[in-house]
Amino acid sequence: MPIKQAIILAGGFGTRLQSVVKDIPKPMAPIGRRPFLEFVLDHCLEFGIKHIILAVGYKHEIIQKHFGQSYRGMQIDYSIEVEALGTGGGILQAAQQFSEDNFLVLNGDTLFRVDLSKLVQFYEDRKADLVLALCPMQHFDRYGTVTMDSNSRIIAFQEKTFQESGNINAGVYVMRKKALIDSGLKGRFSFEKEFMEAQVQTLPFYGRVSADYFIDIGIPTDYQKAAEDLL
């Protein structure tokens, strides 16, 4: 797997989780005696990632104090948002620290145990600008869905609404920095709305469906489920 670098978005405030996890960034929500973010980092380590940039904002000092500059041999650096930049601005600012064009992006409050090596190979085979790891889901309304053609090229993103079944964006990407820079977007912007949805008809975006373990700790019931599953 030639891509050895990843950005993890770890700046979330976690409004819906505040009733059970207070005064810490959402990715630091404890699972037993470990922060949830460690499980995401462990997943990266499993596939040979060497360099992680944590895109942080809210109470970032807590994350920096816990992880420092390395985690189990991986180099850890930080991209600190002085003002909230949104998912797009957060990725763009963090990506400036990479010398190479291609990198992975993961969310610090979700764990999708997708095979990152296969995801990268899929990205390279299709000469994509962006590949999304998609998770099949049944009976849901918290997530939008992603529609692809017969070649796995993404053709549309649907808004959040109740669905009997569909493929959701699970928050794991492989992408080209140049594609994001060339979009001309700056400052605060939504990666999902202002980059992905705006460019889906013009840039080569692809999706790869994987039925691997997925959990999003954004609401108390799923946070509790993560604690049960991961322990």
Statement: residue 1 has pLDDT above 70 = no
Cα-to-chain-centroid distance, residue 97: 17
Nearest alpha-carbon partner for 63 in 6, 19, 108: 108
Q: Which residue type occupies 25? A: P
Report pTM. 0.95
| Spatial separation of the C-alpha atoms in residues 188 and 182, rounded to whole Å | 16
- CATH classification of the domain holding 140: 3.90.550.10
**Tokens read off for 162:** 């109740």
Q: Which domain holds residue 16?
A: 5-230
SS3 per residue for 66-109: HHCCEECCEEEEEEECCCCCHHHHHHHHHHCCCCCCEEEEEECC
Indicate the DSSP class of residue 159: P
Burial pattern 185-197, b for ≥16 Cβ within 10 A else e, equals beeebebbebbbb
Are 122 and 3 spatial neighbours (Cβ–Cβ below 8 Å)? Answer: no
What is the tally of structural domains in the chain? 1
Tell how far CA 90 is from the center of its chain.
11
Mean pLDDT, residues 191-218 = 96
Residue 12, pLDDT above cutoff 80: no
Q: Which residue has the higher pLDDT, 231 or 123?
A: 123
pLDDT of residue 54: 98
Amino acid identity for residue 230 in this structure: L
Q: What is the pLDDT of residues 126-169, one digit of tens each?
A: 999 999 999 999 999 889 899 999 999 999 999 888 999 999 99
